[in-house]
Amino acid sequence: MGGMSERSGMPGEGLVKGLAVTLKTMTRPSTTQQYPDVAPELPPRSRGVIALLEENCTVCMLCARECPDWCIYIDSHKEEVTVPGAARPRQRNVLDKFDIDFSLCMYCGICVEVCPFDALYWSPEFEYAEHDIKDLLHDKDHLGEWMATVPPPPAHDPHGDPSKEETTAARKAAAPARPAAVRPEPGPAADGGTAP
């Protein structure tokens, strides 16, 4: 049987290798993290709790619609805003209720990603356990308190491409100042008439 390859090795070789790994692990000293006395070092993009920046929320409902667990509850009302010089008053949504039920949340981050106005952020805080599951429903005031724990965004990569905003600002700063447009004086037109 030339096509079949024979297994090489002795019987029980896998068992010996497994016991060697176990012995190596048993002889290594263990390191115990002294939580809660010593705060753990979390990865930079760890997901703890979702924070809300209320003034950025326009009640577009994208986060609630995209949430696979339906754990975001939003309620609002319309308010008329009078703009000077406008023909009629405009309407804007005012946020009345923004609750996230963290007993249902699976921390997928879809709500943070789909928010077009940067109203939702990840906070690395993870110590918000409660004695009663009903207390895991955080309202907009409680979510707003988590904003103080949101880390600043990482610095821009100095070797990467500049952002669109940086490119536009640099181009405007480097452009020479244009003189104000001068309106031509009315005078004789090319066909011999006068300009209006």
- With b meaning 16 or more CB within 10 Å and e meaning fewer, what string describes 161-185? eeeeeeeeeeeeeeeeeeeeeeeee
Is pLDDT of 33 > 80? yes
Is cis: bond before 36, omega within 30 of 0? yes
Contact 94, 37 (CB under 8 A): no
Is pLDDT of 196 > 60? no
From 38-42, 52-56, 108-112, 141-145, the region with the lowest mean pLDDT:
38-42
| DSSP codes of every residue in 35-66 | TTTS-----TT---EEEE-GGG-----HHHHH
Taking every pair of Cα atoms in the chain, the longest distance, rounded to a whole number of angstroms, is 111
Residue 118 or 192, more confident: 118
- With b meaning 16 or more CB within 10 Å and e meaning fewer, what string describes 37-76? eeeeeeeeeeebbbbbbeeebebeebbbeebeeebbebeb
Q: Give me the pLDDT at residue 96, please.
A: 95
Q: Give me the pLDDT at residue 82, please.
A: 87
**pLDDT band with cut points at 50, 70 and 90 for residue 22:** very high
Paired tokens of 21: 């790994």
Q: Give me the pLDDT at residue 183, please.
A: 63
Please compute the mean of the pLDDT values over residues 105-116 and round it to a whole number: 95
Contact 106, 140 (CB under 8 A): no
Q: Give me the pLDDT at residue 18, please.
A: 93
Q: Give me the pLDDT at residue 78, please.
A: 94
Per residue in 145-166, pLDDT (tens digit) is: 999 999 888 777 788 887 787 8
Q: Give me the pLDDT at residue 186, please.
A: 65
